[in-house]
Amino acid sequence: MTFSDLGLGDAVLKALDDVGYETPSAIQAATIPALLAGRDVVGLAQTGTGKTAAFALPILDRLDVSQKTPQALVLAPTRELALQVCEAFEKYAAHVRGVHVLPVYGGQGYGVQLSALRRGVHIVVGTPGRIIDHLEKGTLDLSELKYLVLDEADEMLKMGFAEDVETILADTPATKQVALFSATMPTAIRRMSQQYLHDPEEITVKTKTTTSATTAQRYLIVSHQQKIDALTRILETENFEGMIVFARTKSATEEIAEKLRARGYSAAAINGDVAQPVREKTVNQLKSGKLDILVATDVAARGLDVERISHVVNFDISTDTESYVHRIGRTGRAGRSGDAISFVTPRERGLVTVIERATRQPLTQMQLPTADDVNLTRLARFDDRITAALGQTERIDGFRDVIAHYVRHHDVPEVDVAAALAVVAQGESPLLLEPETEQQRRGFEDRADRGDRGARPGRFDRDERPERRQRPSNGRMATYRIAVGKRHRVEPRQIVGALANEGGLSRGDFGAIQIRPDFSLVELPAGLSQSTLDRLSDTRISGKLIEIRLDTGGPSARRT
Ligand code: AMP
């Protein structure tokens, strides 16, 4: 099945092609046609199943960009999820002209939100408390709302937003279409859907339940940014023969294969864009041992049967259990045992239980191999190389005299000569990794725990609690604009680090940070002194002058 089979239009299809999705995930295949047909939907789905696209695509496909008041509202439990959903909308809207998406959450100054709302937005993605605030103030007009999405509904209820959500459901036009997504279906959600949704189509993704008992399944909690690092450590420490690395998109397969080749592995990518003859050739190379690692999308690896595959690594965890089962079925062939390792981002943790339930087999959590683990295997491999070379007796005989001559004439112990030759054999790269300090290791684990949010100071984590508790600080903050954004690969911690160091600010001075494609918005205490601004005026992040200034909310400032 393809995305165009689901009835989506060209603009959206083009964006999907850009991002490299090959086929709809199970939840998308079931939800998109129902939403396009105008049905209300209740979807039982976890993060990681592709649910965001499942609701975002039908909205974008039917959006009327000429309507000035908001047409779509997505309610999400946390600021972090709201921002992720906004990013997803922006990505899928790349070929729909003039679409404006606005994130609205507590902890962010009202100014930013108000001016964007005044200018007109099509899609609002927000946390329930702040949406209610805007409704009460009369600054958000939902009288012409056509689409309402409740994302992670069970989480919203857990966080105490039940009343706010119901108020929004009741106070928006009865004619709107509602899509509710939830990982679980507690009675409160069932009741809510019976009361506010019209004859909803209930969608649960069916799961296939056979995995080979001969495949040992493990998972590693890792943030998105750490995945390549984690993969290289696994490649170093696991005893693998052939490996398939699964990624979600075509572009990711290329990127991962390229990075592995740069690190000296024989790796190649196969995906739906790779022509059939090339694909066959690549698979044959894997079979014959010319190639060790194949980086593939689900589609490209369908039906692959290569005995040499000892390991499957899910670089991106599958969007549904059926594809998980299919993927790990690529190893443990012909009665051999196999290994499957899945990278799971902290937000995707819930998928582990879903997979365990569906496959009725446990997944064991593994730890990232330490520098010591890596070094032990490097030393063992080095020993193996020496042993193997000693086996080449004729060639060894040929060199014995050369070495003996050197030792006699230079008066150097034989072990030093052997060590010098090891340096020659090793080349420029060091044999061993620097051992990590306990602190670095903890840092890695903390980062994985904070996941895709990156390493931010505690204040930002606090911001993710329901917003009603954070209002007091808002009045004293102002939004500043700096000229570095996603395109400059900037992360919140770099912004905090640079501004704190050079502007003499303390961590507690930072409010919300939004990283946009070309610039970022940072909440800082209102009325920063001229001397602070002067100090910051020649600050650089990633080599670029940040050109800090108070955000005026001008037309180019926050088009989202
Ligand atoms: P979600 O469950 O919406 O958080 O999506 C999980 C991840 O899957 C996101 O990184 C999406 O970009 C990705 N994704 C969603 N749909 C597809 C698809 N059809 N093919 C490949 N990746 C997808």
pLDDT tens for 120-130 read: 999 999 999 99
Give 317 Cα–ligand 1 centroid separation in angstroms. 10
| Atom 22 (ligand 1) nearest CA | 248
pLDDT exceeds cutoff 50 at 553 = yes
Higher pLDDT, 304 or 154: 154
Q: What is the mean pLDDT of residues 233-241?
A: 90
Return d(Cα 311, Cα 306) in angstroms, integer. Answer: 11
Strand-pairing partners, residue 344, are 221
Atom nearest to 47 CA in ligand 1: 2
Classified as helix, coil or strand, 269 is: strand
Q: What is the mean pLDDT of residues 223-235?
A: 92
**Residue 48, ligand 1, Cβ within 6 A:** yes
The alpha carbon of residue 216 and the mean position of all alpha carbons in its chain are separated, in whole angstroms, by 25
Q: What pLDDT score does 560 carry?
A: 36
pLDDT exceeds cutoff 60 at 111 = yes
Q: What pLDDT score does 519 carry?
A: 87
Q: What pLDDT score does 22 carry?
A: 87
**Residue 51, ligand 1, Cβ within 6 A:** yes
Return d(Cα 219, Cα 359) in angstroms, integer. Answer: 14
Write down the mean pLDDT value for the chain: 85
Q: What pLDDT score does 453 carry?
A: 40
Q: 20-24, 178-182, 553-557: which has the highest mean pLDDT?
A: 178-182
**Residue 49, ligand 1, Cβ within 6 A:** yes
The residues, any chain, with a CB within 8 Å of residue 292's CB and separated by 6 or more, are 240, 241, 242, 243, 265, 266, 267, 286
Mutate to test the pocket of ligand 1, among 27, 52, 224 (most ligand atoms within 8 A of CB): 52
C-beta neighbour count of 530 within 10 angstroms: 8
Atom nearest to 319 CA in ligand 1: 8
pLDDT exceeds cutoff 80 at 476 = no
Return d(Cα 300, Cα 297) in angstroms, integer. Answer: 5
Contact 450, 461 (CB under 8 A): yes
The residues, any chain, with a CB within 8 Å of residue 392's CB and separated by 6 or more, are none
Mutate to test the pocket of ligand 1, among 32, 203, 319, 452 (most ligand atoms within 8 A of CB): 319
Q: What is the mean pLDDT of residues 405-425?
A: 92
Q: What pLDDT score does 489 carry?
A: 76
Q: What is the mean pLDDT of residues 415-430?
A: 90
Higher pLDDT, 258 or 158: 258
pLDDT exceeds cutoff 80 at 474 = no
Contact 55, 119 (CB under 8 A): no
Distances (CA, A) of 409 to 158, 168, 402, 424, 517: 79, 89, 11, 20, 65
Q: What pLDDT score does 471 carry?
A: 28
| Atom 15 (ligand 1) nearest CA | 50
Going from the N-terminus, what domains does the chain have, and what CATH number goes with each?
3-204 (3.40.50.300), 215-369 (3.40.50.300), 372-422 (no CATH), 477-550 (3.30.70.330)
Q: What pLDDT score does 458 carry?
A: 27
Give 88 Cα–ligand 1 centroid separation in angstroms. 9
* Range from 242-246, 286-290, 509-513 carrying the lowest mean pLDDT: 509-513
Question: Per DSSP, which regions of 454-551 are E strands?
Answer: 477-482, 513-515, 520-525, 540-541, 544-545, 549-550
Confidence of residue 206 (pLDDT cuts 50, 70, 90): low
pLDDT tens for 49-65 read: 889 999 999 999 999 99
Q: What is the mean pLDDT of residues 325-334?
A: 77
pLDDT tens for 429-464 read: 888 888 776 656 655 555 555 544 433 322 222 233
Give 541 Cα–ligand 1 centroid separation in angstroms. 31
Give 24 Cα–ligand 1 centroid separation in angstroms. 9
Atom nearest to 52 CA in ligand 1: 3
**Residue 253, ligand 1, Cβ within 6 A:** no
pLDDT exceeds cutoff 50 at 175 = yes
Amino acid at residue number 149:
V
Mutate to test the pocket of ligand 1, among 8, 16, 17, 21 (most ligand atoms within 8 A of CB): 21
Q: What is the mean pLDDT of residues 306-317?
A: 91
Give 226 Cα–ligand 1 centroid separation in angstroms. 18
pLDDT tens for 133-145 read: 999 999 999 999 9
* Range from 5-14, 209-218, 499-508 carrying the lowest mean pLDDT: 209-218
C-beta neighbour count of 69 within 10 angstroms: 14
Atom nearest to 347 CA in ligand 1: 4
Q: What pLDDT score does 208 carry?
A: 46
**Residue 369, ligand 1, Cβ within 6 A:** no
Q: What pLDDT score does 529 carry?
A: 81
pTM of the model: 0.58
Contact 518, 485 (CB under 8 A): yes
DSSP 274: S
**Residue 24, ligand 1, Cβ within 6 A:** yes
Give 298 Cα–ligand 1 centroid separation in angstroms. 13
Q: What pLDDT score does 487 carry?
A: 77
Q: What pLDDT score does 507 carry?
A: 67
Torsion of CA 308, 311, 316, 319, to 10 degrees: 80
Q: What pLDDT score does 437 carry?
A: 66
**Residue 52, ligand 1, Cβ within 6 A:** yes
Give 49 Cα–ligand 1 centroid separation in angstroms. 6
Atom nearest to 24 CA in ligand 1: 19
